[in-house]
Structure 1
Amino acid sequence: MSLRVVVLGAENVGKSAVTVRFLTRRFIGEYNSNMDLIYKSSIKQEDYVTDIEILDSCAKKNTSIAPGDNVITWTDAFIVVYDICVHSSFEQAIKILDIINKARASVYCPALLLGNKTDLEHRRTVGVEEGHQAALEYNCQYYEVSAAEDFVTISIAFQALLRETKIIQQNKPLLKRRKSSLVNVSKKLGAMFGKKDSEMDRKRSTCDVAGPKTIFEKA
């Protein structure tokens, strides 16, 4: 089985860091935030292997995406990341969840709300209860993690989302997934974060992740 996941969130919340930590167990503190990246890997869960594609979207200025657009049709699940030390990033995450919630009324996609940077607890501005309440309101999974220090919780969170997504896909065997090209997905994400289509096309890249090695390929 193959699954597609989109990672969304405000700028500098650690979207790439949590994704790479899950796929490779490594923490890398700095990334080129001007690039959209696709990570491809095979994940073993219990007695089966799942091929996954994770679209790590770069974020600048968020506007909105309309319900039913190509982001919804491309992906099987969403991860929405915020920084527990920056309340505005949590507010941004809520806006994104609201968009997803409205859009998936007809095409259900599981979602994970992920609060990052628990290693900076002394700088926290977003309470755990706020995250729990948002997860209840938008019917999504919720975890707090530290990309810098904690592989285990990140793995648990990602694996839980993939498990839920796999169950949903297996229960819809007759539903033909609508396909969108990566170009269209990037354009939609570009509109969401206030970037021009031409800029997104220039900066789109793909990554194949095989164990600890990451190979970057220009699209």
Structure 2
Amino acid sequence: MIQGNTLSWQSSKKTSCSSEGRRKRRGSAGGTRSPEMVLKIPLRRAISLTPEHHPSSGPAELTGPAALKMEVNVLVVGADGVGKSALTVRFLTRRFIGEYGDLESIYSHNVTVDGKDVLFNIWDFPYSQDHSDENFTEEEKRIQWADGFVLVYSICDRASFSIIHQKVQVIKAAKEYLGLEKVPIVIVGNKRDLHHRRTVSSEEGRLLALSMDCEFYEVSAAEAYHGVLLVFHGLLDKIKESKLTTKKGTGIRGIVKSMSAVFARRRTDSL
């Protein structure tokens, strides 16, 4: 259960949009926002931040008095227009904002989950940029930076669903190359409220997730906060499991290596 949160937002590059264009993107589905809300929720800006420049490079768990703190990096990806930014901001602020430009953002979000302070670093990256402006090396850097992944498609857009399989393969290939066997990935079917326009069934989403060993959620970022909360909490659980598995694997390999060294010394001494 979340007991409180703070939200910070990072930006290091100016946008090329006019102020009028920015005002249009900031508009919510419910009408004009008050000046107070604008101050509290700075939403979209382009950034030029790479994993090398970010203070965290993995899930950081501290020892001693700080043992109840954890930091995780989350990469949110999906085709244009599927609502991945709306999903992210719904988790960060509990509010639904309907319009966004194709700009990347990294948010830092502090919450308390099961008595532990968790800092979420969430990188919301536009799919169009991934294809037109950057190469595979840059995509690989983002994957290496992330501890967990939220892959979003729209239940009203079959093309957005079709790219999920390939994205999972790319992520797993990059992570397995680094020696990570269990990759925390959740697949999210968004826009459940538009079921009358559905082109991807819930069963298709579940079967894809099952075949790729991923978690699956179908939500409506526009209608409910709780479903979005379950997505990020579910991913956090998977990141914790992956971290424990990695530690255990390292421990076992260390024991085997030590035993091999002992037996090697004994064989040498007996000669």
Task: Supply the distance in 2 between the matched residues of 1:124 and 1:17 (Cα, whole angstroms).
Answer: 19
| Equivalent of residue 59 in structure 1, options 124, 127, 135 | 127
Whole-angstrom distance in 2 between the partners of 1:152 and 1:25: 9
Match of 2:147 in 1: 76
- Greater Rg by CA: 2
Distance 1:61 1:86, change over 3 A: farther
Aligned pair partner of 1:88 in 136, 139, 159: 159
In the TM superposition, 1:62-211 aligns within 5 A as: 63=131, 65=136, 69-105=140-176, 106-107=179-180, 108-173=182-247
Q: Greater helix share, 1 or 2?
A: 2
Change (3 A) 1:61 1:130: farther
Q: How far does the alpha carbon of each residue in 1:196-218 deviate from its partner, in whole angstroms, 9 at most, with x for none? A: xxxxxxxxxxxxxxxxxxxxxxx
8 Å CA contact 2:87–2:221 kept in 1: the answer is yes
CA distance in 1 between counterparts of 2:79 and 2:173 reads 20
Q: 1:72 Cα deviation (Å)?
A: 2.5
Quick check: 1:85–1:125 contact (8 Å CA) kept in 2? yes
Rounded Cα–Cα distance in structure 1 between residues aligned with 2:245 and 2:170: 24
Alpha-carbon shift at residue 169 of structure 1 (Å): 2.3
Q: Which amino acid aligns with 1:151?
A: Y
Q: 1:173 Cα deviation (Å)?
A: 4.9
Distance in 2 separating the partners of 1:130 and 1:88: 13
Contact 1:101–1:138 (Cα < 8 Å) also in 2:
no
Task: Report the alpha carbon displacement of residue 92 of structure 1 after superposing the two structures with TM.
Answer: 1.4
Deviation at 1:138, TM superposition (A): 1.0
State which of 14, 23, 30 in structure 1 corresponds to 2:83.
14
Distance in 2 between residues matched to 1:49 and 1:167, nearest whole Å: 17
- Give TM-score, length-normalised by structure 1: 0.73
Q: Which string of whole-angstrom CA distances, capped at 9 and with x for unpartnered residues, describes residues 86-131 of structure 1?
A: 0000001222112123223233430010000000000000011111
Query: Which of residues 18, 31, 49 is equivalent to 2:100?
Result: 31
Q: Secondary structure at the match of 1:125?
A: coil
- Give the aligned residue type for 2:147: D
Separation in 2 of the partners of 1:62 and 1:75?
16
Note the aligned Cα RMSD (angstroms).
Answer: 2.2
Q: Flag the structure with higher strand content.
A: 1
Shift of 1:150: 1.2
Who is 1:42 aligned against? 110
Question: RCO higher in 1 or 2 (8 Å CA, sep ≥ 6)?
Answer: 1
Q: How high is the TM-score relative to the length of structure 2?
A: 0.60
The Cα of 1:47 is off from its aligned counterpart by: 1.1
SS at match of 2:186: strand
> Tell me, which stretches of 5 or more residues in structure 2 are unaligned?
1-69, 251-271
- Count residues with an aligned counterpart: 174
Separation (CA, whole Å) in 2 of partners of 1:21 and 1:14: 10
Asked if 1 retains the 8 angstrom alpha-carbon contact of 2:75 and 2:143, the reply is no
